Amino acid sequence: MLDAIKYLIGAAGPSGFGSKSTAEDVTCACNLQSLTAIITGATSGIGAETARVLAKRGARLIIPARNLKAAEDVKSRIQKEIPTAEIIVMELDLSSFASIRRFATNFNSCDLPLNILINNAGKFCHEFQVSQDGFEMTLATNHLGHFLLTRLLLNKMIETANETGIQGRIVNVSSGIHSWMGRERIQFDQLNDPKSYDATRAYAQSKLANILHTKELSLRLEKMKANVTANSIHPGIVRTRITRDRDGLITDLVFFLASKLLKSIPQAASTTCYVAVHPNLKSISGKYFADCNEASASSVANDPNKAMELWRDSDAIVASYV
């Protein structure tokens, strides 16, 4: 009950920020002029606000997108507000391993540094779909796509951190819905049955995978003595384009009834920005954050064996593209 009251009134936590803090609030003291950030899913919603605020603080942005027109529109809006913003739009379809590899190759050929990777893009498939690589689309996009992207960009991040002395940061955007999942292992070969498909379960599973990925990645970075951290976050409940397939009276009614729990998009982008750039988080890795403060993930999400198993299985799937 106390936590609910703190959330509703926006009480600040140990970080000095809370549920009502915005992305601009948490970055107001940050100068990012020497940093380069890649943000997936930056064509709308939380990702677009994250991109705007990081650009406002001086970061160079790489916006990968399947819809290049939407990405160019976001770029134009940001540069209209911030004429000095340096933004590069590049093509990327996170549901395609081949597209991810092309993007990584193209980015690495630009000879740019990479300080921040924000794996923000999210997909919620209301109907069963399969990616071109043969995997259930929600997990393929939200987990496998980001897993491969991170693998392909990790050397560049480690190299940049070594050359500049500036710690690199990876942020995986998860969700509190991850706690809906039980302890069973994520088995990729059992996900492609349209008869047993449940959209909410598929989404929750992908969000659990984001946290498990973060946990194992953090351990591996530590063993490598890499000057790069990895953390996961819950942005909060916010209505974004992820519900676009179900806009209508019922969806509108549900969100109206839940309106007191909803965050604005600037508030929802705050935890991502806080974990990505705030100096308080120097050398903090493998943690889960909500409302700009460290939070408790589910027991399954904290299981190192589950994290290792998921990494092993995911790595086997994308191996030929690494």
CB 30 within 8 A of CB 57: yes
Using pLDDT thresholds of 50, 70 and 90, give the confidence band for residue 248: low
* 195 CB-contact burial (10 Å; exposed 0-12 / middle 13-18 / buried 19+): exposed
Does residue 2 belong to any structural domain of this protein?
no
Beta strand segments in 66-179, E: 87-91, 116-119, 168-173
Q: Which of 7, 197, 274, 321 is catalytic?
A: 197
Query: How much is the pLDDT for 238?
Result: 79
Query: How much is the pLDDT for 244?
Result: 47
Does residue 66 belong to any structural domain of this protein?
yes
Dihedral-angle region of residue 41 (phi above 0 means left; psi in -120 to 50 means alpha; beta otherwise): left
Query: How much is the pLDDT for 30?
Result: 97
Tell me the CA distances in angstroms from 145 to 4, 127, 150, 196, 280, one per residue in order.
34, 19, 9, 23, 29
Does residue 80 belong to any structural domain of this protein?
yes
Digit-coded pLDDT (tens) for 139-176:
999 999 999 999 999 999 999 999 999 999 999 999 99
Longest dimension (CA), the chain: 54
Least trusted range by pLDDT, from 5-9, 59-63, 227-231: 5-9
| C-alpha span between 316 and 308 (Å, rounded) | 12
- Domain containing 173 equals 24-321
pLDDT of 254 higher than 70: no
CB 69 within 8 A of CB 44: no
Does residue 15 belong to any structural domain of this protein?
no
pLDDT of 235 higher than 90: yes
CB 100 within 8 A of CB 149: yes
Does residue 14 belong to any structural domain of this protein?
no
User: Alpha carbon 206 to chain centroid distance?
Assistant: 12
User: Is 7 among the residues known to form the active site?
Assistant: no
Q: Is the dihedral of CA 175, 181, 182, 185 positive or negative?
A: negative
Query: How much is the pLDDT for 249?
Result: 60
Q: How many CB atoms lie within 10 A of CB 185?
A: 12
- Which of residues 254 and 134 earns the better pLDDT score? 134
Contacts of 84 (CB under 8 A, 6+ apart): none
Does residue 40 belong to any structural domain of this protein?
yes
Dihedral-angle region of residue 304 (phi above 0 means left; psi in -120 to 50 means alpha; beta otherwise): alpha
Q: Residue-wise over 22-45: b if at least 16 C-beta within 10 A, else e? A: bbbbbbeebebeebbbbbbbbbbb
How many structural domains does the chain have? 1
| C-alpha span between 197 and 141 (Å, rounded) | 16
Digit-coded pLDDT (tens) for 73-94:
999 999 999 999 999 999 999 9
Q: What percent of the chain has pLDDT over 90?
A: 80
Does residue 259 belong to any structural domain of this protein?
yes
Using pLDDT thresholds of 50, 70 and 90, give the confidence band for residue 251: low
Digit-coded pLDDT (tens) for 21-45:
999 999 999 999 999 999 999 999 9
Tell me the CA distances in angstroms from 178 to 49, 148, 197, 296, 298, one per residue in order.
23, 21, 17, 12, 8
Digit-coded pLDDT (tens) for 285-307:
999 999 999 999 999 999 999 99
The domain that holds 116 is classified in CATH as 3.40.50.720
Query: How much is the pLDDT for 163?
Result: 97
The overall average pLDDT reported for the chain is 91
Using pLDDT thresholds of 50, 70 and 90, give the confidence band for residue 243: very low
Does residue 3 belong to any structural domain of this protein?
no
